[in-house]
């Protein structure tokens, strides 16, 4: 069934929204919300009905509903102020008020591959802003699992995977129905609108718990990854939390790596916002000046084709602030631009955690303590936002609260496997730990953390700066001297003048110690 309104067409069977024939990708929950409202356009749809239809009755926050509603409006060139098509009826619910025409959908066929053409170049069965993942119920493969149960393991795994930033996990009830029909991964993906399928099983043999898992590409039925986890235990409960955490982190890495490989085969003109964001993060992680410039150009192109993408404006702001953090530009030149891009992101979606994070990152370079509120808001919107904890650690370290910064670094590390931004910023947690150690005169620990950060991200000037300042005050002058040479290679034009203009340590004693560290290393101009 398809529904037409204005110049839009909503195809329920194919799960596609088009305007003037051109596809407008939607997250699965956004599509479900829009479909629910359009199919009931003759009446007001209550919030309870929306929760039941879109989230299968699962409890979600008001901000989650608002975010999906905002995304639906953006896709229709509507806003909460205009409410041209989607109306909020205060105290009652929502209503689609556009003139809707209903008709039968035409049959849809998959394109056939030309000889020698890689299937990786095909469009996804159901394009989505974020990759959709179906987690099929884990099978009970036998053995007495003790006090644990496969059903509990399955639910916990799905809940943990749903926290992964950059993934949209299909509801449990839908996954159970699909599993019972014995469909192939490709059939599941086509029917439910997901790109990937995760399945597995759990069993106990003697005093060992064994979990198997495999991740399959829903377009090609290709097995992307499979593994087997074995733990010495007599009950599933004993190892469930650790196993699921490791499984979720691995699935996230494998899926995002596969997506990145696929995206590189997609022509620039055909890249969706999600694909551009992932590519930009991979470029950022290089900490290479030219590649970061490519990431900025990519975000500007994305904003040109999708001006309502709050995440794209957020990442543009992040990149502009990163130029200062890397020592490539001064804050006087870059930070006003970064603040404006962050505000643009907030104007588009005030509940976008990345937007508050981008605002906080830019504000650190104005005054670190002023950034705390924005960063706390980002974490409030997404408590698993590891990069928010990292930046909050950076702000508190530069404000002289080293121990608090170390606590935030621990939280950043804990949530790292679930945070998409952290995957584009390797080594940052240990870098902020090194900075925090300098603030509390734990120089030997600071050296250790800085070296770990450099091992993860060799081209990160901030990690090298953290190594130098700890080495200088620990009496490791020779290493401080050699580190300065590397900093100048990474940040040409780095000087005492740059330090004076861009240092944001709030305490005078910290600013003095920081500048003195570079003098010890031999920086004279």
d(CA 295, CA 284): 7
d(CA 441, CA 48): 55
Strand 93-96 with 101-103, pairing:
unpaired
Band of pLDDT at residue 518, cut at 50, 70 and 90: very high
Let me know if 5 is exposed, middle or buried by CB neighbors in 10 A (0-12, 13-18, 19+): middle
d(CA 384, CA 413): 10
CB neighbour burial string for 132-165, b if at least 16 within 10 angstroms, e if fewer: bbbbbbbebbeeebeebebeebbebbbebbbbbb
d(CA 349, CA 82): 15
Which of 24, 134, 133 is closest to 77 using CA atoms? 24
Overall pTM > 0.85 = no
Res 122 pLDDT > 60: no
Query: Could you tell me which residue, 266 or 481, shows the higher pLDDT?
Result: 481
d(CA 186, CA 328): 47
Q: Find all residues with CB under 8 Å of 427, minimum gap 6, and list them.
A: 452, 453, 454, 455, 456, 457, 460, 463
User: What average pLDDT does this structure show over 503-509?
Assistant: 93
Q: Find all residues with CB under 8 Å of 38, minimum gap 6, and list them.
A: 3, 5, 10, 96, 100
Band of pLDDT at residue 173, cut at 50, 70 and 90: low
Among 222-226, 309-313, 406-410, which range has the highest average pLDDT? 406-410
Which of 316, 200, 187, 303 is closest to 248 using CA atoms? 200
d(CA 475, CA 520): 10
d(CA 55, CA 32): 9
Tell me the CA distances in angstroms from 140 to 63, 185, 472, one per residue in order: 37, 20, 58
pLDDT tens, 441-476?
999 999 999 999 999 999 999 999 999 999 999 999
User: What average pLDDT does this structure show over 93-119?
Assistant: 58
A 10 A CB-CB count for 370 gives: 13
d(CA 364, CA 377): 15
pLDDT tens, 349-388?
898 999 999 999 999 999 999 999 999 999 998 888 999 9
Q: Find all residues with CB under 8 Å of 492, minimum gap 6, and list them.
A: none
Strand order across the beta sheet in which 8-11 lies: 22-23, 16-19, 8-11, 2-5, 101-103
Per-residue pLDDT, 252? 84
Band of pLDDT at residue 120, cut at 50, 70 and 90: very low
d(CA 479, CA 483): 6
Structure tokens at 161: 């995977």
Query: Could you tell me which residue, 181 or 36, shows the higher pLDDT?
Result: 36
Domains of the chain: 2-103 (1.10.10.10), 126-263 (3.40.50.10070), 269-520 (1.25.40.10)
Structure tokens at 305: 């084709």
Which of 499, 423, 497 is closest to 461 using CA atoms? 499
């Amino acid at each position: 069934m398809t529904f037409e309104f204005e110049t839009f067409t909503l195809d329920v069977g194919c799960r596609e929204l088009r305007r003037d024939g051109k596809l407008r990708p939607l997250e699965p929950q956004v599509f479900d919300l829009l479909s629910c409202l359009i199919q009931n356009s003759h009446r007001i749809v209550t919030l309870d009905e929306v929760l039941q239809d879109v989230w299968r009755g699962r409890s979600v926050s008001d901000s989650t509903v608002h975010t999906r509603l905002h995304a639906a409006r953006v896709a229709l060139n509507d806003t909460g102020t205009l409410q041209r098509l989607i109306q909020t009826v205060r105290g009652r619910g929502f209503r689609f008020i556009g003139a809707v025409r209903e008709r039968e959908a035409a049959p849809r066929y998959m394109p056939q591959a030309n000889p020698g053409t890689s299937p990786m170049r095909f469009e996804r069965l159901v394009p989505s802003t974020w990759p959709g993942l179906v987690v099929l119920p884990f099978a009970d493969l036998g053995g007495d699992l003790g006090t644990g149960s496969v059903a509990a393991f399955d639910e916990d795994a799905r809940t943990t995977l749903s926290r992964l930033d950059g993934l949209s996990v299909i509801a449990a009830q839908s996954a159970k129905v699909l599993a019972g029909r014995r469909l192939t991964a490709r059939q599941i993906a086509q029917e439910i609108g997901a790109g990937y399928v995760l399945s597995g099983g759990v069993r106990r043999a003697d005093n060992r718990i064994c979990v198997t898992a495999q991740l399959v590409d829903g377009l090609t039925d290709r097995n992307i990854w499979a593994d087997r986890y074995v733990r010495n235990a007599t009950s599933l409960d004993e190892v469930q939390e650790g196993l699921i955490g490791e499984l979720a982190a691995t699935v996230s890495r494998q899926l995002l790596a596969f997506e990145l490989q696929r995206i590189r085969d997609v022509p620039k003109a055909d890249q969706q916002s999600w694909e551009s964001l992932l590519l930009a993060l991979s470029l950022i992680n290089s900490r290479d000046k030219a590649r970061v410039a490519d990431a900025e150009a990519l975000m500007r192109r994305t904003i040109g084709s999708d001006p309502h993408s709050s995440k794209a404006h957020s990442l543009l702001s992040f990149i502009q602030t990163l130029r200062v953090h890397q020592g490539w530009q001064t804050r006087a030149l870059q930070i006003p631009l970064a603040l404006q891009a962050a505000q643009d992101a907030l104007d588009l979606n005030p509940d976008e955690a990345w937007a508050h994070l981008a605002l906080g990152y830019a504000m650190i370079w104005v005054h670190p303590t002023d950034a705390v509120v924005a960063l706390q808001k980002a974490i409030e919107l997404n408590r698993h936002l590891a990069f928010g904890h990292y930046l909050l650690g950076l702000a508190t370290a530069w404000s002289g609260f080293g121990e608090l910064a170390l606590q935030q670094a621990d939280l950043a590390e804990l949530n790292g496997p679930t945070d998409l931004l952290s995957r584009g910023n390797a080594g940052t947690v240990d870098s902020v730990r090194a900075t925090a150690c300098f603030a509390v005169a734990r120089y030997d620990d600071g050296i250790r953390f800085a070296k770990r950060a450099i091992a993860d991200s060799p081209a990160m000037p901030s990690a090298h700066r953290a190594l130098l300042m700890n080495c200088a005050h620990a009496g490791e002058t020779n290493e401080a001297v050699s580190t300065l040479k590397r900093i100048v290679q990474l940040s040409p034009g780095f000087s005492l003048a740059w330090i004076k203009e861009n240092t944001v340590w709030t305490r005078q004693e910290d600013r003095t110690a920081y500048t003195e560290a570079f003098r010890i290393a031999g920086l004279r101009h």
